[in-house]
A = this chain, B = another copy of it.
Amino acid sequence: MHERIASDLRRHIANGELAVGSLVPSESQLGEQWGASRGPVRQALAALRAEGLIGGGRGKPPTVRSRAVAQPFETFLSFSSWAEGLGRIPGQRTLEIARRPAGAEVADALELEEGEPVVQLLRLRLLDGTPTMIERTTFVWEVGRMLFDHECDSGSIFAFLSGRGVDLSVARHVIDAVAADAADAALLGIAQGAPLLREQRITATASGRPMERSDDRYRPDLVTFIIENSQQAGRPALARSPLDIQESTS
């Protein structure tokens, strides 16, 4: 029960319904809403306090301190679960799935011999129906070949592959900026040369064997990355944040 209460509050904070600075519902309100006793309600609030999402306590009513939920591993890898966790509607259009021999750069990144077969996927990702990100992913053959039997537009490929036992344990993401080329511009409905926020990723097994690499390009007026750190906390909290089109600054 306390986990359901905590994850519901996390979702409301992440999607902005509980804005930073606003009061968190009181213990008695939460108890009534969930038909729960004080124990689980307090446990849920303590968890959010430990995560830095809410402040207050010691007599003061708790308020929302931060929107940057440190994302669990799977929502950081999966566009679908990330969007769903925020109460937004994810969408995808698979434009191409192809078997190709690995070129020099791909072979190097995935630790293959040049010419070994790989599977390359080109997908347009949507948020509430708006083209938001272009995903260019290359899988090693033993993983990618499973995708030819899969309806890639039916949902999260990360969830599908994890369910088939593929070990996707460790990821490394390099964030930079890149100008939209002609293909990017046409797919995202923006001007050629417009700046895009790029995430290049390599995902590997627990023992470090690369399984996929991806080049994901986001419209920076729709998605940003948020980092929060403090002198107290050892490691930073990190989140992707969707922006409303109206909030757009570019």
State whether the Cβ of A98 lies closer than 8 Å to any Cβ in chain B. no
| Residues in B neighbouring A66, C-beta threshold 8 A | 172
Chain B nearest CB from A79 CB (Å) reads: 15
State whether the Cβ of A109 lies closer than 8 Å to any Cβ in chain B. no
Question: Can you report 6 residue pairs joining A to B where beta carbons are below 8 Å apart?
Answer: A76-B236, A170-B229, A170-B230, A170-B231, A171-B230, A234-B235
B68 touches A178 (CB 8 A): no
B236 touches A238 (CB 8 A): yes
Interface residues of A in 139-176 (CB under 8 A from B): 169-176
A171 touches B229 (CB 8 A): yes
State whether the Cβ of A34 lies closer than 8 Å to any Cβ in chain B. no
Given contacts A235-B237, A238-B238, contact A229 B174 (CB under 8 A): no
Q: How large is the interface on A (under 10, 10 to 19, 20 to 34, 35 or more residues)?
A: 35 or more
Among candidates B73, B174, B208, B237, residue contacting A225 with C-beta atoms closer than 8 Å: B174
B170 touches A224 (CB 8 A): no
Instruction: Give per-residue flags for A206-243: 1 if the beta carbon is below 8 A from chain B beta carbons, else 0.
Output: 10100000000000100011111111101111100100
Stretch of A86-94, A120-128, A193-201 on the interface side: A193-201
How many copies of this protein are present in the complex? 2
A residues bordering B, Cβ < 8 Å? 55, 65-66, 68, 70, 73, 76, 169-179, 193-198, 206, 208, 220, 224-232, 234-238, 241, 250
A193 touches B196 (CB 8 A): no
B235 touches A171 (CB 8 A): no
Chain B nearest CB from A53 CB (Å) reads: 13
Given contacts A55-B208, A76-B229, A229-B73, contact A177 B193 (CB under 8 A): no
Residue of B nearest to A197 (CB): B177
Chain B nearest CB from A181 CB (Å) reads: 11
Residue of B nearest to A66 (CB): B172
| Residues in B neighbouring A173, C-beta threshold 8 A | 226-229
| Residues in B neighbouring A70, C-beta threshold 8 A | 234-236
| Residues in B neighbouring A196, C-beta threshold 8 A | 177, 195
| Residues in B neighbouring A65, C-beta threshold 8 A | 208
Excluding A170-B228, A235-B237, 12 further A-B contacts by CB distance (< 8 Å) are: A68-B172, A70-B236, A173-B226, A175-B224, A175-B227, A177-B177, A177-B196, A178-B195, A206-B232, A227-B238, A236-B236, A236-B238
